[in-house]
Amino acid sequence: MTVAATRYPHLLNSLDLGFTTLKNRVLMGSMHTGLEEQKDGFNRMAEYFGQRAAGGVGLIVTGGVAPNRAGWVAPFSLRLSSASQVGNHRIVTERVHAEGGKICMQILHAGRYGYHPLCVAPSRIKAPINRFRPWALTGKGVTSTIDDFRNCSALARESGYDGVEIMGSEGYLINQFIAAKTNKRTDRWGGDYENRIRFAVNIVESVRREAGEDFIIVYRLSMLDLVKDGSSWDEIVQLAREIEKAGATIINTGIGWHEARVPTIATMVPRAGFSWVTKRLMGEVSIPLITSNRINMPDVAEQVLAEGCADMVSMARPFLADPEWVNKTASGRVDEINTCIGCNQACLDNIFSRKTASCLVNPRACHETQLPFVETEVSKKVAVVGAGPAGLSCAATAAARGHKVTLFEASAKIGGQFLIARAIPGKGEFEETLRYFKRQLELHEVDVRLEHRATFEDLKEYDEIVVATGVIPRQLEIPGIDGENVATYSEIISGQKKAGERVAIIGAGGIGFDTALFLLHGEREHDTIDSFLTHWGVDKEYRLRGGLGDTRVESPAREIHILQRKQSKPGVSLGKTTGWIHRLELKKNGVKFRVGVEYLSIDENGLWINQGEREQLVSVDTVVVCAGQVSEPGLMKELDEKGIGYHVIGGAEKAAELDAKKAIGDGVAIADSL
């Protein structure tokens, strides 16, 4: 037994399903990537899934595929309903099998979440997150939809898939039949619970009848709806038993409908924050159970399995971050794992903006054919200046390609602004990105020179110079800005200055919101699963349907005002899929927003503003400036003056609209071009 196998005995153990064996307990969970609908999508998916299969994952589940047109998530989403589509899917399955992997296709009928006018549901009730009102399926429509699931699974088998996952959770069609809140039917598909689960059970039965015994059927079961009038715990147990009887091979865990107002996968959810849900179901059925949500590193995955929470773990986003997650775990290279930080910035946010998914910490994800890693034929001497996210990714990638890299950093530590960001409640995972880069620099023998502010003299001997000197906070010219009661966000977050009990924050961008969260929670971060659940009103005892309880509003640590000059809604620039969490969190803590203001002056009474043509005082003890950033120009000016050519990336290139996705992406792109 290898050292890693001893350290992760549960995770690396095989799972015997009777007719087939999975090589370990790791499932790559279903994720829509946007490749599905692209012109060359199947070839790109083959490379994407192929790399994950080669990376050692036990079982892959594809993104959702609709069984018919009404089931589309959006117009022209991927559908498998006719034999003419089989050939394309074979490109994917053959590649995965060639890498020694196994792959199931997820069948997803979006129901009332379908973003198109043909969407259907058990009843004609609009979802709060969709502008299209669904059509209610007729009785005949229900039976033909079940048949479409059967047909889709038969075609999946013909396409070479090892099985299917039937999506029964997250508030999609099957879930809509199960919950009384969305199913008001009076026929045999509505009314009491037995009737409402008949749709789900009949689908599994008909898929099993069609596919035979040697085909994996994973059923994704909503074990915690997190919506009013969702299922009770007894009903969930009853459903699980019926699904087992109907012929499912494995039950996977679904947490929360998409319309739920509880964070379920974002970075502030503690690691494995919902595995207790799956644990409740252990022993109630005899088929294996999979747990999921915010499991991102081997130790937490092993712990979940060792504690008997499940038989297998599902991770989706961690395989965008690192295709080799399993192989690195199995060969004792856990410190080389590029960890998913749960930010959603390049995966889900991209999908919701109709872009191809990728990953903030791994820009090659879903772009495997466009951004392949290629070793260099000519090794150059490369200087990278600045060890923030941009410089780190550039130095690590260039060195991995075979260049001889020196990385200059003015401060005593690598990380740039990530050193500040990691202190924000819920952003502790940024630490993993720094650990990853540090290890990459060691592995590829980058010469790291800390506390070394690079000048022209240091750089003149290099073949290539990359300037990644980042950003500095914008200085404002408001009378009183130099006062004792004024601080920058970095002075507050790094602890150099302390804020009083009443604070005005100038700037309502990402950093303004983060600083407010820091000032509200500080060390009171939800570091335990129970405190997170209590805060968001999740009741582990399921006293109410859907697992919702009372939300607890702690008395806020401070009175906070956030101001901006624009008239627009504060926080519009926050992440598409996570911004609502931050806005809700600040609202719950009584933070007051002021828009359309003009800053007049600061004195010992606070911040004087002009708002709505009225001069007024925001009476506070401390004013914190979060008014964006500007590029650090010094070095570039010097190089320009000497006529030395250089590349410039990250915040040094453009401070506006800068984020770590751009910084890391720029770093990889330039390193690939050297």
What residues act catalytically?
Answer: 172
Q: Which does 470 bind (CB under 5 to 8 A by kind): ligand SF4, ligand FAD, ligand NAP, none?
A: ligand FAD
∠ at Cα 483 (481, 488), nearest 5°? 60
Q: Does 314 bind ligand SF4 (CB under 6 A)?
A: no
Task: Considering only residues 339 through 368, tell me which ones interact with ligand NAP, judged by CB under 6 A.
Answer: 345
Q: Does 298 bind ligand NAP (CB under 6 A)?
A: no
Q: Does 197 bind ligand SF4 (CB under 6 A)?
A: no
Q: Does 391 bind ligand NAP (CB under 6 A)?
A: no
Question: 572: buried, middle or exposed (CB in 10 Å: 19+, 13-18, 0-12)?
Answer: exposed
| Closer to ligand SF4 by Cβ: residue 292 or 345 | 345
Q: What is 195-219 written as a DSSP string?
A: HHHHHHHHHHHHHHHHH-SSSEEEE
Stretch that binds ligand SF4, among 12-20, 58-66, 336-344, 629-637 (CB under 6 A): 336-344
Instruction: Give the helix/strand (H/E) hosting 240.
Output: helix 233-246
Q: Which does 411 bind (CB under 5 to 8 A by kind): ligand NAP, ligand FAD, ligand SF4, none?
A: ligand FAD
Cα(391)–Cα(562) distance, integer angstroms = 32
Stretch that binds ligand NAP, among 14-22, 400-408, 428-436, 626-634 (CB under 6 A): 626-634
Q: Does 509 bind ligand NAP (CB under 6 A)?
A: yes
Tell the smallest beta-carbon distance from residue 424 to ligand FAD (Å).
5
∠ at Cα 296 (362, 13), nearest 5°? 115
| Closer to ligand SF4 by Cβ: residue 201 or 315 | 315
From 71, 342, 363, 547, residue interacting with ligand SF4 (rule: CB under 6 A)? 342
Residue at token pair 């009887």: 245
Q: Which does 387 bind (CB under 5 to 8 A by kind): ligand SF4, ligand NAP, ligand FAD, none?
A: ligand FAD
Contacts of 382 (CB under 8 A, 6+ apart): 395, 398, 403, 404, 405, 406, 462, 463, 464, 465, 466, 674
For residues 437 and 664, the answer to whether their CB atoms sit within 8 Å is: no
Q: Which does 114 bind (CB under 5 to 8 A by kind): ligand NAP, ligand FAD, ligand SF4, none?
A: none
Cα(487)–Cα(474) distance, integer angstroms = 12
| Closer to ligand FAD by Cβ: residue 101 or 416 | 416
Q: Which residues pair with 597 in a beta bridge?
A: 611
Return phi, psi of residue 635, to 5°.
-65, -40
Tell the smallest beta-carbon distance from residue 323 to ligand FAD (Å).
22
For residues 149 and 109, the answer to whether their CB atoms sit within 8 Å is: yes
Q: Does 165 bind ligand NAP (CB under 6 A)?
A: no
From 305, 626, 635, 674, residue interacting with ligand NAP (rule: CB under 6 A)? 626
For residues 315 and 309, the answer to whether their CB atoms sit within 8 Å is: no
Q: Does 629 bind ligand NAP (CB under 6 A)?
A: yes
| Closer to ligand NAP by Cβ: residue 659 or 666 | 659
Tell the smallest beta-carbon distance from residue 669 to ligand FAD (Å).
13
Q: Which residues pair with 250 in a beta bridge?
A: 218
Q: Which does 512 bind (CB under 5 to 8 A by kind): ligand FAD, ligand SF4, ligand NAP, none?
A: ligand NAP
Residues that bind ligand FAD (CB under 6 A): 343, 345, 385-391, 408-411, 416-418, 420-421, 424, 453-454, 468-471, 493, 510-511, 514, 632, 635, 650-651, 658-661, 663
How many angstroms from the chain centroid is the CA of residue 125? 29
Residue at token pair 């979440």: 113
Q: Does 512 bind ligand NAP (CB under 6 A)?
A: yes
Task: Considering only residues 513 through 572, tell me which ones interact with ligand NAP, judged by CB under 6 A.
Answer: 514, 564-566
Instruction: Give the helix/strand (H/E) hosting 466.
Output: strand 464-467
Pattern 645-674, ligand NAP, x by CB under 6 A:
------------xxx---------------
| Closer to ligand FAD by Cβ: residue 306 or 572 | 572
For residues 361 and 342, the answer to whether their CB atoms sit within 8 Å is: no
* Side chain identity at residue 267, one-letter code: T
For residues 357 and 351, the answer to whether their CB atoms sit within 8 Å is: yes
CA-based nearest residue to 348, from 389, 317, 314, 323: 317
Residue at token pair 């991995």: 400
Stretch that binds ligand SF4, among 162-170, 255-263, 339-347, 561-569 (CB under 6 A): 339-347
For residues 217 and 166, the answer to whether their CB atoms sit within 8 Å is: yes
Q: Which does 410 bind (CB under 5 to 8 A by kind): ligand FAD, ligand NAP, ligand SF4, none?
A: ligand FAD
∠ at Cα 577 (572, 578), nearest 5°? 75
CA-based nearest residue to 615, from 597, 627, 603: 597
Contacts of 460 (CB under 8 A, 6+ apart): 644
| Closer to ligand SF4 by Cβ: residue 70 or 360 | 360
Return phi, psi of residue 163, to 5°.
175, -170
Q: Does 320 bind ligand SF4 (CB under 6 A)?
A: yes
Q: Which does 657 bind (CB under 5 to 8 A by kind): ligand FAD, ligand NAP, ligand SF4, none?
A: ligand NAP
Q: How far is CA 514 from CA 424, 480, 517, in A?
A: 6, 24, 5
Task: Considering only residues 182 through 211, tell me which ones interact with ligand NAP, judged by CB under 6 A.
Answer: none
From 15, 154, 321, 351, residue interacting with ligand SF4 (rule: CB under 6 A)? 321
Cα(525)–Cα(502) distance, integer angstroms = 20
| Closer to ligand SF4 by Cβ: residue 266 or 607 | 266
CA-based nearest residue to 628, from 535, 512, 529: 512
Task: Considering only residues 572 through 601, tell me which ones interact with ligand NAP, judged by CB under 6 A.
Answer: 573-575
Cα(532)–Cα(562) distance, integer angstroms = 25
Task: Considering only residues 478 through 537, tell me which ones interact with ligand SF4, judged by CB under 6 A.
Answer: none
Stretch that binds ligand SF4, among 64-72, 185-193, 315-323, 529-537 (CB under 6 A): 315-323
Task: Considering only residues 463 through 502, tell me which ones interact with ligand NAP, judged by CB under 6 A.
Answer: 474, 476
Chain positions contacting ligand SF4, by CB under 6 A: 317, 320-321, 340-347, 359-361
Chain positions contacting ligand NAP, by CB under 6 A: 345, 474, 476, 506-512, 514, 564-566, 573-575, 626-629, 657-659
